[in-house]
Homo-oligomer: A and B are copies of this chain.
Amino acid sequence: ARDDIDAVYIPLPTGVRSEWVIKAAQAGKHVMCEKPCGIDVAETEAQLAACNEAGVQFMDGVMFMHSKRLDALRETLTDGSIGEVRRIHSAFSFNGGDDFVSGNIRMHSDLEPLGCLGDLGWYNIRFNLWTMEYAMPKAVSGRMICGAARGDSPDQVPVEFSGELFYENDVTASYYCSFITANQQWAHVCGTDGTLRVDDFVVPFFGSEAKYTVSNTESNQHVCDFNMEQRDRIVSVKEHANAHPTAQEANLFRNFGDLVLSGETDPKWGEITLQTQQVMMACLESAKQDGARVEL
């Protein structure tokens, strides 16, 4: 392998990705890998084993993990603003249109067998894992609402998918992802004392700040007079969207680069990739059983 390359970014289709992640690692290159990292858990484990053996850094390309908004969100989650987390909802979708369904590589089961679940649901599941500080759900449920495929695809891929995650203490999460529903990328975290809402958790809306809303709505009643009072607080973090040096995408590559240059690898990134893949595959397994609970 040549000496003037330290790291590679692997955006190849999921169906052929694992082979190249492993080859890159074996050549001593640090790896930034697109998601879903493997077509199944075994592939992701093989990638991580190869990186571990070669002593190179592995990181998946989930941009929002590198947004400064997450620091603010964590503070809100731990400072009592919404109490104990009880329920997480999220939705991530875009409507690819007919051209997408008939021509995009994400509609080919050899290239992207996980369809919208791999492309979009990866973010929903990661957001759940992040919110729960990487506790694994005890069990999951998933439903493939509909599937489709382009003409040359051997099988259908998920085009619309919903899932539910069951954590300890009856904390639950539900998510929805779709290639045929309009753009949306919202997440709600509902606690015992309030809720928080992020309207753009994956790709922040164009602007110079990343925001979210904390709600502590109150119902007040005096005899026959009642008021449902809205108490919303908007939290804003200075961080540009799009191609600005402060954007989460820039942070992603900066953080990866810093790790590579530090000479120390951080196993956390590979571990959360594996967790994401494990939860995703369990959801898909459940979908094959029409939503039956699958233990983790």
A120 shortest CB reach to chain B, Å: 13
Residues of A187-243 whose CB lies within 8 A of B? 188, 190-195, 199-200, 203-207, 215-219, 224-230, 241-243
Tell me if A180 and B86 are in contact (CB < 8 A): yes
Nearest residue, chain B, Cβ from A146: B170
CB-defined contacts of A206 to chain B, threshold 8 Å: 227-230
A174 shortest CB reach to chain B, Å: 6
Q: How large is the interface on A (under 10, 10 to 19, 20 to 34, 35 or more residues)?
A: 35 or more
CB-defined contacts of A146 to chain B, threshold 8 Å: 170
Q: B-facing mask of A165-180, CB < 8 A → 1, else 0? A: 0100010101010101
CB-defined contacts of A164 to chain B, threshold 8 Å: 143, 162
Q: Cβ of A160 < 8 Å from any Cβ of B?
A: yes
CB-defined contacts of A228 to chain B, threshold 8 Å: 183, 185, 200, 203-206, 241
CB-defined contacts of A95 to chain B, threshold 8 Å: 83, 192-193
A51 shortest CB reach to chain B, Å: 27
Tell me if A184 and B215 are in contact (CB < 8 A): yes
In the assembled complex, the Cα of A58 lies from the Cα of B229 at a distance in Å of 31
Q: Cβ of A27 < 8 Å from any Cβ of B?
A: no
Q: Cβ of A293 < 8 Å from any Cβ of B?
A: yes
- For chain A, what secondary structure do more than half of its interface residues adopt (helix, strand, loop), or is it mixed? strand
CB-defined contacts of A94 to chain B, threshold 8 Å: 219
Q: Cβ of A132 < 8 Å from any Cβ of B?
A: no
CB-defined contacts of A143 to chain B, threshold 8 Å: 141, 164
Tell me if A91 and B190 are in contact (CB < 8 A): yes
A221 shortest CB reach to chain B, Å: 10
Nearest residue, chain B, Cβ from A85: B181
In the assembled complex, the Cα of A83 lies from the Cα of B180 at a distance in Å of 11
Nearest residue, chain B, Cβ from A95: B192
Tell me if A181 and B172 are in contact (CB < 8 A): no
Knowing A89-B89, A224-B243, A225-B242 touch, does A191 contact B195 (C-beta < 8 A)? no
Tell me if A170 and B174 are in contact (CB < 8 A): no
Other than A94-B219, A180-B192, A290-B292, give 16 A-B pairs with Cβ distance below 8 A: A86-B181, A87-B93, A87-B176, A87-B178, A91-B188, A95-B193, A141-B143, A162-B172, A181-B190, A182-B193, A182-B217, A183-B218, A183-B219, A184-B217, A200-B217, A206-B229
| Pairs A-B, 10 closest by C-beta atoms | A205-B230, A183-B217, A206-B227, A146-B170, A203-B228, A86-B181, A182-B194, A206-B229, A184-B195, A181-B190
A-B CB contact pairs (8 Å), 22 listed: A82-B182, A86-B160, A87-B181, A91-B190, A145-B172, A162-B164, A180-B192, A181-B190, A181-B191, A182-B190, A182-B193, A182-B195, A182-B216, A182-B217, A183-B219, A200-B230, A206-B227, A206-B230, A224-B243, A227-B242, A290-B292, A291-B292
